[in-house]
Amino acid sequence: MVLMSVKFDLKKRVKLAQTVWFMYWFAVMAGVLVFSMGLFFKIELRKRSELMDNKESHFLPNLLILMGLIACAINAFGGKICYDSLDPNKFVKWKSMLKSFLVSCMVFNGLLFMTALLCFLMRIPLQFTLAEGLKNGMKYYKDTDTPGRCYMKRTLDLMQMEFRCCGNDNYRDWFEIQWVSNRYLDFGAKEVKDRLGSNVDGQYLMDGVPFSCCNPSSPRPCIQNQMTNNTAHYSYDHYTEELNVWKHGCRDAMLSYYGGLMNTIGALVLLVTILEVAVTIGLQYVNSSLSTLANPEDPESESEGWILEKTVKETFTDIMATMKSMGKGTKVEEGGEAAVATVS
């Protein structure tokens, strides 16, 4: 028993082919959209690639770019088939490969759906990538003279100003590392000696943050040094005072930005997947309606179109049987080659 059978005459077949043709070219534009989203996401990641712990974060944008290109090619080809289906003489050349093309479309739709799911699931590994990347980046903030790290200070400062954040988890993360280069320290000064000797690692630690942590909206001049010393500032209590530096950690800020971006892309890719499924179903109706003409010699005769020639269960059983037979055929061929080699 066929699944979702529909009767067609010539007028309905022409209208169907024209509609699916239009949908295919709309799907080509959707493929361009997926490609563009992948390219935009890749550019956004590359802007702050120094703050990423690994390069695996580029897997998703690369996948989006690839899927976008494949979508453009498949949909352009499908549009050409629908256009030629209006002329029986032109459609003949596509009949032999149409079934394989439809199977390829189904596989592609499955991969596109998996890509959409990855957009939602990649937030978890991104969280760990950002946490470790920011932690290492903050350690290298002072290394402005070290090749390969000389731009880390600029990258972190721009990031903290753009995302209005400070530190990894919060501004106190800067208290735990030396972020001022030794070249700017007077090692003869008592304060510097005391700070270097106050910890086992010999680092110059202080209760201060870089200027990029300052909140320009605060009415009070930025207090970025001696932040926990109430006596160092007039009318100041760091326990109760509304600090004029960003309190929000950069890991959460960046995760919120990239996570929101991935959720938006994932939702759009799901919509594109639905469109791809629709055009695949449309092409199947075009194919089946032209293959079942009551009188192949008369283009105006009636026909029947369907999604599946059999039920879903029967179709699945046939596919599994075909795969098993292909597997047995491969084993027979291997056994024959082995026998020939033995005789030789």
Task: Measure the CA–CA gap between 71 and 115, rounded to whole angstroms.
Answer: 13
User: pTM score > 0.85 for this model?
Assistant: no
CA 318 – CA 312 distance, rounded (Å): 10
Q: Name the region of 142 (left: φ>0; alpha: ψ -120 to 50; beta: rest).
A: alpha
Residue 203 sits in the same domain as residue 308: no
End position of a domain, from candidates 227, 247, 267:
247
pLDDT at 344: 52
Number of domains, the chain: 2
pLDDT at residue 270, as a whole number = 96
Phi and psi angles of residue 262, each rounded to the nearest 5 degrees, phi first:
-65, -35
Q: Which of 96, 40, 94, 100 is nearest to 65 (CA)?
A: 40
Q: Residue 127 has what pLDDT?
A: 85
HSE-up (13 A, CA, CB side) for residue 74? 26
Residues 133 and 9 in one domain: yes
Q: Are residues 60 and 200 in the same domain?
A: no
The per-residue pLDDT for range 115-137, each reduced to its tens digit, is 999 999 988 888 888 888 898 88
Residues 71, 212 within the same domain: no
For residue 301, being part of any structural domain is answered with yes
Average pLDDT, the chain: 83
In whole angstroms, what is the distance from residue 294 CA to residue 300 CA?
Answer: 9
What is the Cα–Cα distance from 255 to 265, expressed in whole angstroms? 15
Instruction: Report, as an integer, the average pLDDT of 44-68.
Output: 85
Look up the domain containing 296 and give its range: 3-138+252-317
| Domain assignment present for 149 | no
My answer on whether 288 and 235 are in the same domain is no
**What confidence score (pLDDT) does residue 205 get?**
87
More confident residue, 67 or 199: 67
Distance between CA atoms of residues 162 and 165, nearest Å:
8
Which pLDDT belongs to residue 319?
A: 62
pLDDT at position 32 is: 96
> Over the stretch 246-284, which tens digit does the pLDDT of each residue have?
988 999 999 999 999 999 999 999 999 999 999 998 888
Do 93 and 74 sit in the same domain of this protein?
yes
91 and 44 housed in the same domain: yes
Q: How far apart are CA 199 and CA 206, in angstroms?
A: 11
* Furthest-apart CA atoms within the chain: distance in Å: 102
Say what the pLDDT of residue 283 is.
86
Whole-number percent of the chain with pLDDT over 90: 35
| Burial class of 200 by CB neighbour count within 10 A (0 to 12, 13 to 18, 19+) | exposed
DSSP H or E run through 102: helix 88-121
**If DSSP states are collapsed to H, E and C, what string results for 119-188?**
HHHCHHHHHHHHHHHHHHHHHCCCCCCCCCCCCHHHHHHHHHHHHCCCCCCCHHHHHHCCCCCHHHCCCC
81 and 196 within one domain:
no
List, for residues 180-220, the tens digit of each pLDDT value. 888 888 888 888 888 888 776 778 888 899 999 998 888 88
- Does residue 228 sit within a domain? yes
Kindly state whether residue 342 falls inside one of the protein's structural domains.
Answer: no
Query: What burial letters (b/e) apply to 163-196, b meaning 16+ CB within 10 Å?
Result: bbbbbbebbbbbeebbbbeeeebeeeeeeeeebb
Residue 100 lies in a domain: yes
Is 147 inside a domain boundary? no
The pLDDT of residue 337 is above 90: no
Q: Higher-confidence residue: 102 or 5?
A: 102
pLDDT in tens, 299-336: 667 767 667 666 667 666 766 776 677 666 655 555 55
The pLDDT of 63-86, averaged and rounded, is 91
